[in-house]
Amino acid sequence: MTEQQQILFACIDNCCYFKLCGELRYTNATGMDDLVERLFRQQSGCKQVVVDLNAASFMDSTYVGLLASLARYCQQQQLPRPTLFSTHAEVNELLFSLCLDQAFDIVQQATGQDYAMTAISGQNYSEQQQGQMILRAHEALIALNDSNKSQFQPVVDILKQQLS
């Protein structure tokens, strides 16, 4: 039995809170992608971003790329660096190996916050839309640093080829 993935979101006092739970894979990333894209498009009132990964047990590179996109959004809006909470050793190892510590303030402890949050549903993406999401996520990873570029540029090149 696979662990259920869940995305929870709240905007409280101009702070956007994301709580990501379970196995975070590209196959269930459409809700997160849609939420991040909506934040990019509209002036959401977010003055600070907090991501809680304490309930995440696994994360693939697409999801890490979505987090990188979120950090880039904060930078473009001249917001403070987002804060990311994570106590899961394997998730933390992935975050640090893909240099998310350059884009987030990573706190390796529980948040201690318990807000009323809204569950975000997955979106019905076409195969083309899902491919575009995966491409954008990996381009955001590449933008973080050169070691990510050498690791993910072949993936980006293949995706671009397949999507054209």
Q: Is 152 inside any structural domain?
A: no
Taking all residues of the chain, what is their mean pLDDT, rounded to a whole number?
90
Q: Is 22 inside any structural domain?
A: yes
Average pLDDT over residues 8-33: 92
Enter the tokens of residue 54: 């304490």
What confidence tens digit (pLDDT) does each residue in 98-154 have? Answer: 999 999 999 999 887 778 899 999 899 999 999 999 999 999 999 988 899 999 999
From CA 98, how far away is CA 2, in angstroms rounded? 25
Q: How many domains does the chain contain in total?
A: 1
Output 2 or 123, whichever has higher pLDDT.
123
From CA 61, how far away is CA 154, in angstroms rounded? 14
**How much is the pLDDT for 43?**
65
Question: 96: domain range?
Answer: 6-124
CATH number at residue 40: 3.30.750.24
Q: Is 24 inside any structural domain?
A: yes
Average pLDDT over residues 78-91: 94
Strand partners, 10: 17
Q: Is 156 inside any structural domain?
A: no
Count of CB atoms within 10 A of residue 101's CB?
14
**How much is the pLDDT for 1?**
33
**How much is the pLDDT for 46?**
84
Contact by Cβ (8 Å): 64, 30: no
Q: Is 159 inside any structural domain?
A: no
Determine phi and psi for 98, rounding to 5 degrees.
-100, 15
**How much is the pLDDT for 160?**
95
Q: Is 131 inside any structural domain?
A: no
Total residue count of the chain as it appears in this document:
164
Q: Is 62 inside any structural domain?
A: yes
Place of tokens 């909470």: 85
Q: Is 31 inside any structural domain?
A: yes
- Please say if the pLDDT value at position 91 is more than 50: yes
